[in-house]
């Protein structure tokens, strides 16, 4: 009898607490707001931390709502337009806007040329080794 009770408890699904449900909802809101912020032209990256107001039904403790945003913009971006758009998306959030570093020059062209030389060299070697000797 005891073994079946232990087995039933071990197989019971985990039920999240009200605090865990609220935290999960806040994480989803964080991701949605970050996605909207990154869609603004000139925004390189965005990070949001949202905490909804919460009343703990077990302890009666209250926590106030709060939100913070960190927006990384490109050096050539329009800072005022980005700030206005961010305030429209989250009017009561604390906002920090920082300018990101300038993008590094691309070295993909040199890498592509080097790869092409290696492939052509290998193809030439295979063609030379498999040539008819007669």
CATH value at residue 32: 3.30.300.30
Give the pLDDT confidence score for residue 4 in this predicted structure.
61
Give the pLDDT confidence score for residue 78 in this predicted structure.
93
pLDDT range class, residue 80, cuts 50, 70, 90 = very high
Give the pLDDT confidence score for residue 17 in this predicted structure.
80
Give the rounded distance of the alpha carbon of 23 from its chain centre.
17
- With both helix axes pointing from N to C terminus, report the angle between 18-38 and 79-89 in degrees, rounded to the nearest 10: 150
* Calpha distance 101→96 (Å, rounded): 16
Q: Is residue 108 domain-resident?
A: no
Query: Which of helix, strand or coil describes residue 83?
Result: helix
- Domains identified in the chain, total number: 1
Q: Is residue 95 domain-resident?
A: yes
Structure tokens belonging to residue 9: 């408890």
Q: Is residue 97 domain-resident?
A: yes
Q: Is residue 60 domain-resident?
A: yes
Calculate the average pLDDT of the chain. Answer: 83
The residue segments making up the domain with residue 63 are: 15-103
pTM of the prediction?
Answer: 0.63
Q: Is residue 58 domain-resident?
A: yes
């Amino acid at each position: 009898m005891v073994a079946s009770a232990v087995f039933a408890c071990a197989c019971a699904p985990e039920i999240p607490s009200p605090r865990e449900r609220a935290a999960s909802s806040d994480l989803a809101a964080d991701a949605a707001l970050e996605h909207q912020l990154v869609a603004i032209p000139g925004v390189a990256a965005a990070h949001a931390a949202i905490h909804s107001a919460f009343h703990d039904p077990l302890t009666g403790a209250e926590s106030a709502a709060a939100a913070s945003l960190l927006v990384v913009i490109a050096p050539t971006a329009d800072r005022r337009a980005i700030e206005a758009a961010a305030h429209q998306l989250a009017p009561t959030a604390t906002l920090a806007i920082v300018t990101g570093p300038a993008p590094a020059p691309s070295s993909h062209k040199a890498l592509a040329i080097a790869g092409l030389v290696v492939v052509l060299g290998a193809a030439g070697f295979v063609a030379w080794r498999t040539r008819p000797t007669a």
